[in-house]
Amino acid sequence: MEVSPDNIVIYAREPIVLNATLLFTWLTMGLLVGISGWVTRQLSVRPHLPPWQNLLEMVVDGIYNQIQDITQQDPERYLSFVGTLFLFIVTCNLLTVVPGYHAPTGSLSTTAALALCVFVAVPIFGIRQQGLGRYFKSYLEPTPIMLPFQIIGEFSRTLALAVRLFGNIMSGNLLAAILLSLVPLFVPIAMQLLGLVFGVIQAYVFSVLALVYIASASSVQQHNHHISTQENRDE
């Protein structure tokens, strides 16, 4: 058994090497783009909504409300990025029920790439909301001594995001494979269903953590700016 889809080589001819991670990543992205294009091709207005449009609106509304509840900020600025993360990860995890499909989230390279996207998104959202100077000033607060610790924290939480998702998906796949070899009938079916639920939870946890990191980059700055403004008024 191949633990990681990185080890499953589909095509190899120098200098091109295509493994299962790359293949199923692009297939998953193509599936999401294709479904989105098909559903949004002929949008209708209420009360007569096609079933697929109704489902899509429920998903978007659910993500929108979750962002609003968690951040207590305007969800519009985070919806596209966080929603894309969630939909990609949950689709990868749910498609494991398809025979022959290997979830790209079972590869450390994929989870590391997703974590790096979050790592880059944090300062982008923070700078967009508060400006370059005010954002980087937070790394020196409450004292410049905290700068190296702030930087270490940024890298450590990125590493934690990547390893957490990879480890959970990989361990679930490995456990299902072991049970399949020992009890080849009903137990693997139950484990497969449990794995689907677990995959949805992992997608939700990753997206929520990414959202918290991104939103905190803005909310901390807003709090500091509010304090500074209040102090200036008092003077």
Which pLDDT belongs to residue 138? 78
Model confidence band, residue 167 (pLDDT cutoffs 50, 70, 90): confident
Residue 229 above 50 pLDDT? no
Which pLDDT belongs to residue 85? 94
Residue 2 above 60 pLDDT? no
Which pLDDT belongs to residue 115? 94
Which pLDDT belongs to residue 231? 38
Residue 187 above 50 pLDDT? yes
Q: What is the dihedral of CA 163, 198, 171, 165, to 10 degrees?
A: -10
Which pLDDT belongs to residue 80? 92
Dmax of the chain from CA atoms? 75
- 11 membership: H or E segment, kind and range: strand 9-13
Model confidence band, residue 226 (pLDDT cutoffs 50, 70, 90): very low
Sign, CA dihedral 173-177-179-185, equals positive
Residue 107 above 70 pLDDT? yes
